[in-house]
Amino acid sequence: MLIQSISNSSSVVGGEEDENVLRRTLLQLLAGSGIALDGQVLGSVESIRRRMDDTLVSATVSAAMLDQWEEATIGFGRQYMNTPPLRLLCDVLLEFSAVRKAMERRQPVDLQERLCRMAAQLAGLSGMIMINLGDHRLARSFFRTGRTAADETGDRALRAWVTAREALVPLYYGDPREALNLAKKSRDMAGQTPCAAQAMAPVVEARALAMMSGSGKKDVVDQAKRALSRARAAFSQMAAVDQDDSTFGYTERQLYFHQGDALVKLGQAMEADLILEQALTKYGPADWLDPTFIKFDRAQCKLLEGDIDEALAIAQATFDGLGDNCRPGILMQRAHEMAKELEAKAPNHAGLKLFQEALRAAPAEDPVIGA
Protein backbone atom coordinates (compact mmCIF):
# COMPACT_ATOMS: atom_id res chain seq x y z
CA MET A 1 0.00 0.00 0.00
CA LEU A 2 2.85 2.38 0.85
CA ILE A 3 4.52 1.75 -2.51
CA GLN A 4 1.23 2.36 -4.34
CA SER A 5 0.68 5.57 -2.37
CA ILE A 6 4.15 6.83 -3.24
CA SER A 7 3.60 5.92 -6.90
CA ASN A 8 0.24 7.74 -7.04
CA SER A 9 1.76 10.78 -5.34
CA SER A 10 4.67 10.96 -7.78
CA SER A 11 2.24 10.59 -10.69
CA VAL A 12 0.20 13.56 -9.46
CA VAL A 13 3.34 15.67 -8.98
CA GLY A 14 4.61 14.71 -12.44
CA GLY A 15 1.28 15.62 -14.00
CA GLU A 16 1.25 19.03 -12.33
CA GLU A 17 4.81 19.71 -13.48
CA ASP A 18 3.88 18.87 -17.08
CA GLU A 19 0.87 21.19 -16.94
CA ASN A 20 3.02 23.96 -15.44
CA VAL A 21 5.46 23.66 -18.34
CA LEU A 22 2.58 24.19 -20.78
CA ARG A 23 1.16 27.06 -18.72
CA ARG A 24 4.55 28.83 -18.71
CA THR A 25 4.89 28.28 -22.46
CA LEU A 26 1.39 29.66 -23.08
CA LEU A 27 2.08 32.75 -20.92
CA GLN A 28 5.32 33.42 -22.79
CA LEU A 29 3.51 33.07 -26.13
CA LEU A 30 0.77 35.44 -24.98
CA ALA A 31 3.50 37.92 -23.95
CA GLY A 32 4.88 37.81 -27.49
CA SER A 33 8.06 35.87 -26.73
CA GLY A 34 9.60 33.64 -29.37
CA ILE A 35 9.37 30.12 -27.94
CA ALA A 36 10.97 27.00 -29.41
CA LEU A 37 9.29 23.63 -29.10
CA ASP A 38 12.22 22.25 -27.09
CA GLY A 39 12.83 18.95 -25.34
CA GLN A 40 11.16 20.02 -22.09
CA VAL A 41 7.91 21.07 -23.80
CA LEU A 42 7.91 17.95 -25.97
CA GLY A 43 8.49 15.82 -22.88
CA SER A 44 5.48 17.35 -21.16
CA VAL A 45 3.33 16.91 -24.29
CA GLU A 46 4.26 13.22 -24.51
CA SER A 47 3.84 12.70 -20.74
CA ILE A 48 0.29 14.09 -20.80
CA ARG A 49 -0.57 11.87 -23.77
CA ARG A 50 0.86 8.77 -22.03
CA ARG A 51 -1.14 9.47 -18.88
CA MET A 52 -4.29 9.53 -21.00
CA ASP A 53 -3.28 6.16 -22.51
CA ASP A 54 -2.79 4.76 -18.99
CA THR A 55 -6.17 6.07 -17.90
CA LEU A 56 -7.97 4.65 -20.92
CA VAL A 57 -6.78 1.13 -20.21
CA SER A 58 -7.38 1.24 -16.42
CA ALA A 59 -10.49 1.12 -14.53
CA THR A 60 -18.20 11.87 -10.36
CA VAL A 61 -17.90 14.48 -12.60
CA SER A 62 -20.96 16.72 -12.86
CA ALA A 63 -22.99 16.99 -16.06
CA ALA A 64 -22.48 20.77 -15.93
CA MET A 65 -18.70 20.34 -15.97
CA LEU A 66 -18.98 17.95 -18.91
CA ASP A 67 -21.05 20.56 -20.75
CA GLN A 68 -18.29 23.13 -20.18
CA TRP A 69 -15.59 20.76 -21.42
CA GLU A 70 -17.60 19.90 -24.51
CA GLU A 71 -18.09 23.59 -25.27
CA ALA A 72 -14.35 24.17 -24.80
CA THR A 73 -13.55 21.29 -27.16
CA ILE A 74 -15.83 22.74 -29.86
CA GLY A 75 -14.20 26.13 -29.27
CA PHE A 76 -10.73 24.72 -29.80
CA GLY A 77 -11.93 23.26 -33.09
CA ARG A 78 -13.06 26.72 -34.21
CA GLN A 79 -9.66 28.18 -33.29
CA TYR A 80 -7.71 25.58 -35.27
CA MET A 81 -7.72 27.54 -38.52
CA ASN A 82 -6.60 30.90 -37.12
CA THR A 83 -4.56 30.33 -33.93
CA PRO A 84 -0.78 29.75 -33.91
CA PRO A 85 -0.33 25.99 -33.40
CA LEU A 86 1.90 25.92 -30.30
CA ARG A 87 -0.39 28.29 -28.43
CA LEU A 88 -3.45 26.22 -29.32
CA LEU A 89 -1.64 23.01 -28.36
CA CYS A 90 -1.05 24.33 -24.84
CA ASP A 91 -4.75 25.16 -24.42
CA VAL A 92 -5.90 21.83 -25.86
CA LEU A 93 -3.57 19.71 -23.72
CA LEU A 94 -4.49 21.48 -20.50
CA GLU A 95 -8.14 20.58 -21.23
CA PHE A 96 -7.06 17.08 -22.28
CA SER A 97 -5.33 16.66 -18.92
CA ALA A 98 -8.45 17.79 -17.04
CA VAL A 99 -10.56 15.23 -18.93
CA ARG A 100 -8.02 12.52 -18.09
CA LYS A 101 -8.23 13.32 -14.38
CA ALA A 102 -12.01 12.94 -14.50
CA MET A 103 -11.66 9.59 -16.25
CA GLU A 104 -9.41 8.25 -13.48
CA ARG A 105 -12.58 7.87 -11.42
CA ARG A 106 -15.08 5.42 -12.90
CA GLN A 107 -18.14 7.35 -14.05
CA PRO A 108 -21.69 6.30 -14.92
CA VAL A 109 -21.80 4.79 -18.41
CA ASP A 110 -23.36 7.81 -20.13
CA LEU A 111 -20.86 10.25 -18.58
CA GLN A 112 -17.94 7.93 -19.28
CA GLU A 113 -18.94 7.79 -22.94
CA ARG A 114 -19.00 11.59 -23.15
CA LEU A 115 -15.55 11.76 -21.55
CA CYS A 116 -14.20 9.20 -24.01
CA ARG A 117 -15.66 11.19 -26.90
CA MET A 118 -13.93 14.36 -25.69
CA ALA A 119 -10.69 12.44 -25.16
CA ALA A 120 -10.86 11.16 -28.76
CA GLN A 121 -11.61 14.63 -30.15
CA LEU A 122 -8.91 16.38 -28.12
CA ALA A 123 -6.35 13.67 -28.95
CA GLY A 124 -7.27 13.93 -32.64
CA LEU A 125 -7.00 17.72 -32.55
CA SER A 126 -3.61 17.43 -30.82
CA GLY A 127 -2.50 15.09 -33.59
CA MET A 128 -3.62 17.63 -36.20
CA ILE A 129 -1.63 20.36 -34.46
CA MET A 130 1.46 18.15 -34.26
CA ILE A 131 1.21 17.60 -38.03
CA ASN A 132 1.34 21.38 -38.47
CA LEU A 133 4.29 21.66 -36.09
CA GLY A 134 6.15 19.04 -38.09
CA ASP A 135 6.37 16.19 -35.57
CA HIS A 136 4.80 13.23 -37.35
CA ARG A 137 5.87 10.77 -34.61
CA LEU A 138 3.91 12.56 -31.89
CA ALA A 139 1.04 13.13 -34.31
CA ARG A 140 0.74 9.37 -34.85
CA SER A 141 0.91 8.77 -31.10
CA PHE A 142 -1.95 11.18 -30.47
CA PHE A 143 -4.05 9.58 -33.18
CA ARG A 144 -3.46 6.14 -31.59
CA THR A 145 -4.66 7.56 -28.29
CA GLY A 146 -7.65 9.04 -30.11
CA ARG A 147 -8.51 5.67 -31.64
CA THR A 148 -8.35 3.99 -28.21
CA ALA A 149 -10.74 6.59 -26.79
CA ALA A 150 -13.06 6.46 -29.81
CA ASP A 151 -13.28 2.67 -29.59
CA GLU A 152 -14.72 3.09 -26.09
CA THR A 153 -17.65 5.09 -27.46
CA GLY A 154 -18.76 2.61 -30.13
CA ASP A 155 -19.34 5.59 -32.43
CA ARG A 156 -18.43 4.57 -36.00
CA ALA A 157 -18.40 8.16 -37.23
CA LEU A 158 -15.97 9.25 -34.52
CA ARG A 159 -13.64 6.30 -35.13
CA ALA A 160 -13.72 7.02 -38.86
CA TRP A 161 -12.97 10.72 -38.24
CA VAL A 162 -9.84 9.92 -36.17
CA THR A 163 -8.61 7.51 -38.87
CA ALA A 164 -9.27 9.95 -41.71
CA ARG A 165 -7.33 12.64 -39.85
CA GLU A 166 -4.50 10.20 -39.16
CA ALA A 167 -4.26 9.49 -42.91
CA LEU A 168 -2.96 13.04 -43.35
CA VAL A 169 0.27 12.15 -41.52
CA PRO A 170 1.59 9.80 -44.23
CA LEU A 171 -0.03 11.97 -46.91
CA TYR A 172 2.02 15.01 -45.88
CA TYR A 173 5.14 13.11 -44.87
CA GLY A 174 5.84 10.96 -47.88
CA ASP A 175 3.95 7.67 -47.70
CA PRO A 176 0.88 8.02 -49.94
CA ARG A 177 0.33 4.25 -50.01
CA GLU A 178 -0.27 4.17 -46.26
CA ALA A 179 -2.44 7.28 -46.56
CA LEU A 180 -4.54 5.44 -49.14
CA ASN A 181 -4.90 2.40 -46.85
CA LEU A 182 -5.93 4.52 -43.86
CA ALA A 183 -8.43 6.44 -45.99
CA LYS A 184 -10.01 3.16 -47.10
CA LYS A 185 -10.16 1.99 -43.47
CA SER A 186 -11.87 5.23 -42.52
CA ARG A 187 -14.40 4.81 -45.33
CA ASP A 188 -15.13 1.22 -44.20
CA MET A 189 -15.56 2.33 -40.58
CA ALA A 190 -18.03 5.03 -41.57
CA GLY A 191 -20.08 2.55 -43.58
CA GLN A 192 -23.41 4.06 -44.57
CA THR A 193 -23.42 6.54 -41.70
CA PRO A 194 -23.60 10.12 -43.07
CA CYS A 195 -20.61 11.80 -41.43
CA ALA A 196 -17.50 13.90 -42.06
CA ALA A 197 -15.27 10.90 -42.73
CA GLN A 198 -17.49 9.74 -45.60
CA ALA A 199 -16.49 12.90 -47.46
CA MET A 200 -12.94 13.29 -46.11
CA ALA A 201 -11.75 9.72 -46.77
CA PRO A 202 -12.32 9.64 -50.56
CA VAL A 203 -10.64 13.04 -50.89
CA VAL A 204 -7.55 11.64 -49.15
CA GLU A 205 -7.77 8.64 -51.49
CA ALA A 206 -7.73 10.95 -54.51
CA ARG A 207 -4.76 12.96 -53.21
CA ALA A 208 -2.83 9.79 -52.35
CA LEU A 209 -3.53 8.23 -55.76
CA ALA A 210 -2.20 11.34 -57.48
CA MET A 211 0.99 11.30 -55.40
CA MET A 212 1.59 7.59 -56.00
CA SER A 213 1.31 7.60 -59.78
CA GLY A 214 2.36 11.06 -60.88
CA SER A 215 0.43 13.53 -62.99
CA GLY A 216 -1.35 13.01 -66.24
CA LYS A 217 -1.95 9.26 -66.29
CA LYS A 218 -5.49 8.70 -67.49
CA ASP A 219 -6.28 5.69 -65.28
CA VAL A 220 -5.12 7.56 -62.17
CA VAL A 221 -7.02 10.68 -63.15
CA ASP A 222 -10.17 8.60 -63.62
CA GLN A 223 -9.78 6.80 -60.28
CA ALA A 224 -9.09 10.04 -58.44
CA LYS A 225 -12.03 11.83 -60.05
CA ARG A 226 -14.35 8.96 -59.11
CA ALA A 227 -13.15 9.31 -55.52
CA LEU A 228 -13.80 13.07 -55.64
CA SER A 229 -17.28 12.39 -56.99
CA ARG A 230 -17.96 10.06 -54.03
CA ALA A 231 -16.75 12.80 -51.70
CA ARG A 232 -19.14 15.37 -53.16
CA ALA A 233 -22.05 12.93 -52.92
CA ALA A 234 -21.20 12.12 -49.30
CA PHE A 235 -20.86 15.81 -48.44
CA SER A 236 -24.37 16.50 -49.71
CA GLN A 237 -25.70 13.90 -47.24
CA MET A 238 -23.93 15.35 -44.19
CA ALA A 239 -25.83 17.14 -41.44
CA ALA A 240 -25.67 20.94 -41.61
CA VAL A 241 -23.88 21.12 -38.25
CA ASP A 242 -21.07 18.91 -39.59
CA GLN A 243 -20.84 20.95 -42.79
CA ASP A 244 -20.19 24.02 -40.62
CA ASP A 245 -17.38 22.47 -38.53
CA SER A 246 -13.92 22.61 -40.12
CA THR A 247 -12.25 20.48 -37.43
CA PHE A 248 -14.62 17.77 -36.25
CA GLY A 249 -16.78 17.98 -39.37
CA TYR A 250 -15.98 18.86 -42.97
CA THR A 251 -16.84 22.14 -44.67
CA GLU A 252 -17.56 23.11 -48.25
CA ARG A 253 -14.45 25.28 -48.38
CA GLN A 254 -12.29 22.33 -47.28
CA LEU A 255 -13.90 20.19 -49.96
CA TYR A 256 -13.05 22.78 -52.63
CA PHE A 257 -9.48 23.13 -51.29
CA HIS A 258 -8.81 19.40 -51.18
CA GLN A 259 -10.39 18.78 -54.58
CA GLY A 260 -8.19 21.49 -56.05
CA ASP A 261 -5.10 20.06 -54.35
CA ALA A 262 -5.81 16.60 -55.75
CA LEU A 263 -6.29 18.02 -59.26
CA VAL A 264 -3.00 19.94 -59.03
CA LYS A 265 -1.18 16.72 -58.20
CA LEU A 266 -2.91 15.06 -61.15
CA GLY A 267 -1.62 17.79 -63.45
CA GLN A 268 -5.10 19.18 -64.15
CA ALA A 269 -3.91 22.77 -63.76
CA MET A 270 -6.78 24.72 -65.38
CA GLU A 271 -9.57 22.87 -63.55
CA ALA A 272 -7.63 22.94 -60.29
CA ASP A 273 -7.03 26.69 -60.46
CA LEU A 274 -10.73 27.42 -60.94
CA ILE A 275 -11.69 25.29 -57.93
CA LEU A 276 -8.90 26.73 -55.75
CA GLU A 277 -9.99 30.25 -56.66
CA GLN A 278 -13.52 29.38 -55.48
CA ALA A 279 -12.11 27.86 -52.31
CA LEU A 280 -10.27 31.06 -51.38
CA THR A 281 -13.49 33.09 -51.54
CA LYS A 282 -15.01 30.89 -48.84
CA TYR A 283 -12.37 31.67 -46.18
CA GLY A 284 -12.51 34.67 -43.87
CA PRO A 285 -9.79 37.29 -43.27
CA ALA A 286 -8.75 35.64 -39.97
CA ASP A 287 -8.12 32.25 -41.61
CA TRP A 288 -4.54 31.77 -42.72
CA LEU A 289 -3.54 28.08 -42.62
CA ASP A 290 -5.64 26.57 -45.44
CA PRO A 291 -5.57 29.75 -47.56
CA THR A 292 -1.77 29.65 -47.53
CA PHE A 293 -1.75 26.08 -48.85
CA ILE A 294 -4.33 27.06 -51.47
CA LYS A 295 -2.18 29.96 -52.68
CA PHE A 296 0.88 27.71 -53.00
CA ASP A 297 -1.28 25.26 -54.96
CA ARG A 298 -2.35 28.10 -57.27
CA ALA A 299 1.33 28.97 -57.77
CA GLN A 300 1.92 25.37 -58.79
CA CYS A 301 -0.97 25.60 -61.26
CA LYS A 302 0.76 28.55 -62.93
CA LEU A 303 4.00 26.57 -62.93
CA LEU A 304 2.29 23.64 -64.67
CA GLU A 305 0.93 26.06 -67.26
CA GLY A 306 4.45 27.36 -67.88
CA ASP A 307 3.88 30.84 -66.40
CA ILE A 308 7.02 31.02 -64.25
CA ASP A 309 6.72 34.75 -63.50
CA GLU A 310 3.18 34.41 -62.14
CA ALA A 311 4.02 31.26 -60.18
CA LEU A 312 6.95 32.97 -58.49
CA ALA A 313 4.97 36.15 -57.82
CA ILE A 314 2.18 34.19 -56.11
CA ALA A 315 4.63 32.11 -54.06
CA GLN A 316 6.60 35.18 -52.94
CA ALA A 317 3.48 37.18 -52.04
CA THR A 318 2.03 34.22 -50.15
CA PHE A 319 5.17 33.78 -48.08
CA ASP A 320 5.56 37.52 -47.43
CA GLY A 321 1.95 37.65 -46.21
CA LEU A 322 2.50 35.22 -43.36
CA GLY A 323 2.37 36.99 -40.02
CA ASP A 324 4.29 36.34 -36.83
CA ASN A 325 3.84 32.80 -35.43
CA CYS A 326 2.21 31.77 -38.72
CA ARG A 327 5.08 29.78 -40.21
CA PRO A 328 4.71 26.29 -38.74
CA GLY A 329 6.93 23.52 -40.03
CA ILE A 330 4.37 22.09 -42.45
CA LEU A 331 3.95 25.44 -44.23
CA MET A 332 7.69 26.01 -44.43
CA GLN A 333 8.02 22.53 -45.91
CA ARG A 334 5.47 23.43 -48.60
CA ALA A 335 7.25 26.71 -49.33
CA HIS A 336 10.59 24.93 -49.77
CA GLU A 337 8.93 22.34 -52.05
CA MET A 338 7.59 25.21 -54.15
CA ALA A 339 11.08 26.72 -54.37
CA LYS A 340 12.52 23.40 -55.56
CA GLU A 341 9.82 23.04 -58.21
CA LEU A 342 10.53 26.59 -59.44
CA GLU A 343 14.26 25.90 -59.50
CA ALA A 344 13.72 22.74 -61.55
CA LYS A 345 11.77 24.71 -64.16
CA ALA A 346 13.73 27.99 -64.17
CA PRO A 347 17.01 27.74 -62.20
CA ASN A 348 18.26 31.11 -63.47
CA HIS A 349 15.10 33.14 -62.97
CA ALA A 350 15.92 36.56 -61.54
CA GLY A 351 13.33 36.38 -58.75
CA LEU A 352 14.08 32.82 -57.63
CA LYS A 353 17.18 33.73 -55.63
CA LEU A 354 15.23 36.36 -53.68
CA PHE A 355 12.52 33.83 -52.85
CA GLN A 356 15.10 31.26 -51.72
CA GLU A 357 16.89 33.85 -49.58
CA ALA A 358 13.61 34.85 -47.95
CA LEU A 359 12.95 31.21 -47.05
CA ARG A 360 16.42 30.75 -45.58
CA ALA A 361 16.10 33.94 -43.54
CA ALA A 362 12.78 32.88 -41.99
CA PRO A 363 12.98 29.38 -40.49
CA ALA A 364 9.78 27.75 -39.28
CA GLU A 365 8.37 28.89 -35.98
CA ASP A 366 8.12 26.26 -33.28
CA PRO A 367 10.98 24.08 -34.61
CA VAL A 368 10.66 20.47 -33.53
CA ILE A 369 13.57 18.58 -32.01
CA GLY A 370 14.14 15.23 -33.70
CA ALA A 371 11.08 15.45 -35.94
Model pLDDT for residues 272-312, shown as the tens digit of each residue: 999 999 999 999 888 888 999 999 999 999 999 999 999 99
Contact 325, 342 (CB under 8 A): no
Contact 224, 253 (CB under 8 A): no
Burial per residue of 127-141, b for 16 or more beta-carbon CB atoms within 10 angstroms, e otherwise: bbbbbbbbbbebbbb
pLDDT at 242: 95
Q: Is 319 helix (H, G, I), strand (E, B) or coil?
A: helix
| CA gap 127, 215 in Å, rounded | 30
pLDDT at 203: 96
Tell me the per-residue pLDDT of 177-203, one tens digit each, with 9 for 90 and over: 999 999 999 999 999 889 999 999 999
pLDDT at 36: 75
Q: What is the 3-state secondary structure (H, E, C) of 218-249?
A: HHHHHHHHHHHHHHHHHHHHCCHHHHCCCCCC
Tell me the per-residue pLDDT of 55-102, one tens digit each, with 9 for 90 and over: 776 546 778 888 999 999 999 999 998 888 889 999 999 999 999 988
Residue 368 backbone dihedrals phi, psi, to 5 degrees: -105, 130
Predicted structure pTM score? 0.82
pLDDT at 195: 94
Q: Which residues pair with 368 in a beta bridge?
A: 37
Contact 271, 263 (CB under 8 A): yes
pLDDT at 54: 77
**pLDDT at 366 exceeding the cut of 60:** no
Instruction: State the first-to-last Cα distance of the chain, in angstroms, to the nearest integer.
Output: 41
Tell me the per-residue pLDDT of 120-157, one tens digit each, with 9 for 90 and over: 999 999 999 999 888 999 999 999 999 999 999 999 99
Tell me the per-residue pLDDT of 22-64, one tens digit each, with 9 for 90 and over: 999 999 888 887 777 888 999 999 999 988 887 776 546 778 8
DSSP state of 299: H
pLDDT bin (cut points 50, 70, 90) of residue 13 is: low
Angle between helices 156-166 and 176-190 (to 10 degrees): 170
